[in-house]
């Protein structure tokens, strides 16, 4: 089923100039880029994003890192995009991630692991990054109508055309 996933190139990925190579992998695989925004994630939003880890010792440093410099937030679409992107991203720690995955090929750090990908369709729909002003900006920059953001008032979304009907492209 066509599904959308939130991918974030974290501050280390931007600073190491890896954004292009990461995006290229997702495009080459066949995922479709729906919306994107380069932004410095406010600390409060990063705290909410990682709320599931709030009792972990790495919570505060992870929040500090995520809000320290600009990240690239993107929405990608494909059948089964959540699982597919997670497989391409690899396991959490760079030094354990399989070669061939993004984390496995480009880093060996625990915290500075380059990229975030939604871990379930539910986490996409409930994602704090996709609510409020961030979501509205992502939607505005998109030429599409992300169906999982339908809680946003229609007047915000305007009359932009939905393009998922064009996907997959018949070759």
Strands of the 2-9 sheet, one edge to the other: 32-39, 71-79, 2-9, 115-117
Contact pattern for ligand GDP over residues 32 through 51, marking x by CB under 6 A: ------------------x-
For 14, phi then psi, to 5°, come to: -70, -45
In the complex with ligand GDP, which residue's Cβ is closer, 13 or 146? 13
Closest Cα partner for 105 from 5, 13, 11?
A: 13
Burial environment of residue 112 by CB neighbours within 10 A (0 to 12, 13 to 18, 19 or more): middle
Which of residues 35, 116, 124, 127 is near ligand GDP by CB under 6 A? 116
Closest distance of CB 78 from ligand GDP, Å: 19
Tokens for 137, please give them: 């900006």
Residue from 17, 49, 53, 116 carrying the catalytic annotation: 116
Among 11-19, 105-113, 136-144, 154-162, the segment contacting ligand GDP (CB under 6 A): 105-113
Active-site residue, 116 included:
yes
Q: Which residues bind to ligand GDP, rule: CB under 6 A?
A: 50, 53, 58, 62, 92, 110-111, 113, 116, 119
């Amino acid at each position: 089923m066509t599904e959308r996933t939130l991918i974030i190139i974290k501050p280390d990925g931007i600073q190491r100039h890896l954004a292009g190579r990461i995006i290229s992998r997702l495009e080459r695989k066949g995922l479709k880029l729906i919306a994107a925004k380069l932004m410095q994630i406010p600390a409060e939003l990063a705290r909410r994003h990682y709320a599931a880890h709030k009792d972990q010792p790495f919570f505060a440093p992870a929040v500090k890192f995520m809000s320290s410099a600009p990240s690239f937030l993107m929405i990608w679409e494909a059948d089964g995009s959540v699982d597919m992107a997670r497989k391409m991203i690899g396991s959490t720690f760079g030094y354990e991630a399989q070669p061939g995955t993004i984390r496995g090929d480009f880093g060996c750090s625990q915290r500075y692991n380059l990229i975030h990908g939604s871990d379930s369709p539910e986490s996409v729909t409930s994602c704090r990054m996709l609510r409020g002003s961030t979501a509205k900006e992502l939607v505005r920059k998109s030429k599409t109508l992300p169906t999982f953001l339908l809680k946003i008032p229609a007047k915000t979304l305007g009359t932009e055309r939905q393009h998922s009907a064009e996907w997959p492209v018949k070759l």
